[in-house]
Amino acid sequence: MARVVVLTPNPAVDVTYEVAEQRIGETVRVSGVTRRPGGKGLNVVAVLRRLGVPAVALQPLGGATGRWIEESLREAGIDAVVVPAPGDTRTTVAVVDGRTHPTLYAEPGDALPETTWRELADAVARLCEPGGFLIVSGSFPPGTAPERLAAVIGAGRNAGARVIADTSGDALLAAADAGADIVKPNEAEAMEATATGTLDAAAAALLDRGAGTVVVSRGADGLGALEADGSRHRQPAVPGVRGNPTGAGDAATAGLVAALHSGLPLAEGLRWASVVGAAAVLAPVAGSINVADLPPLADRLPAGDRPALPLPIPTR
């Protein structure tokens, strides 16, 4: 099977604080702390690995935090390719209490020099292969010029990989302009980036800019997709799922790509995205799923909206 290359342009050390209750302006005692390599792309790689998909994590890393991320990835058995970056890799903090939506504190990260971007594009060209995928996932360092993303996407496409961009803001527009095969914003990101007032208008604007397909995650309202030929797809979310939604969108991206990587059509990919995203909500931290949760979660969907069983993806 051709590999999936996942570029995380702005990785982080993800710290999760567990508290009894989130309270502003007060001293809050932390009952549990989890530290793990983070950034949306690294979440995607971790879930792809659980789904049995061959995936390579590509990221710029620098300083002591960068070395910790690299060592942690190696210890977890993740195939990681690191491009050296100046400065220290950033940290993000999530505060969770099981009552309300987690509160996230995300450092911006340091700008990457032109040499680092060239090395990332060269690594994409070297790692990608025909029949594989390049996933560009997450935020970008401050000051990233659109042509940097265009060069990365071009390198992946020239190597024969299909490119999926899960990002927001100017980077989302740049990915569409560069001809990404699929762009995958959430509903708010799609409308904000395109300055449109409806989801249909936002998807149409991204297609007009050059995206092949627009897949939009809508939280409890599921997912939708609009293809360049006008084909539309709607997929409901798995009902009755409660837990930590941090990283659910990344898991949905992994589910979508795992299905497409197995040769399944887009509609089936959306079904997998729904179920794998729901499994991530049940997990304690982002980038984690229990594959045993997938069949019972699929059974909660209406019959016509469930991924095909038996599972086309290994459950280990």
User: What is the per-residue pLDDT across 238-273, written as a single tens digit (0 to 9) for each?
Assistant: 999 988 787 899 999 999 999 999 999 999 999 999
pLDDT in tens, 129-184: 999 999 999 999 999 999 999 999 999 999 999 999 999 999 999 999 999 999 99
Cα–Cα separations (whole angstroms), residue 145 to 117, 153, 180, 196, 284: 10, 13, 17, 23, 35
Residue 87: inside a domain: no
pLDDT class of 83 with cuts at 50, 70, 90: very high
Residue 28: inside a domain: no
Residue 206: inside a domain: yes
Taking the C-alpha atoms of residue 62 and residue 52, their distance in angstroms, rounded to an integer, is 29
**DSSP per residue over 190-228, as a string?**
HHHHHT-SSHHHHHHHHHHHT-SEEEEE-GGG-EEEEET
Domain holding 246, by residue range, is 4-9+39-78+111-303
How much is the pLDDT for 309?
A: 66
Residue 91, amino acid: T
pLDDT class of 98 with cuts at 50, 70, 90: confident
Residue 164: inside a domain: yes
Domain count across the chain: 1
Question: Does the pLDDT value for residue 312 go beyond 60?
Answer: no
Supply the mean pLDDT for the chain.
94
Of residues 92 and 285, more confidence is placed in 92
How much of the chain, in percent, has pLDDT values that exceed 90?
Answer: 87
* pLDDT, mean of residues 212-219: 96
Residue 244: inside a domain: yes
How much is the pLDDT for 287?
A: 81
| Placement of tokens 């996407």 in the chain | 153
Residue 310: inside a domain: no
How much is the pLDDT for 136?
A: 98
pLDDT class of 313 with cuts at 50, 70, 90: low
* pLDDT, mean of residues 114-133: 97
Q: What is the CATH number of the domain that holds 282?
A: 3.40.1190.20
Residue 250: inside a domain: yes
Q: Which of 14, 110, 166, 250 is catalytic?
A: 250
293 is catalytic: no
Residue 215: inside a domain: yes
How much is the pLDDT for 166?
A: 97
pLDDT class of 7 with cuts at 50, 70, 90: very high
* pLDDT, mean of residues 99-124: 94
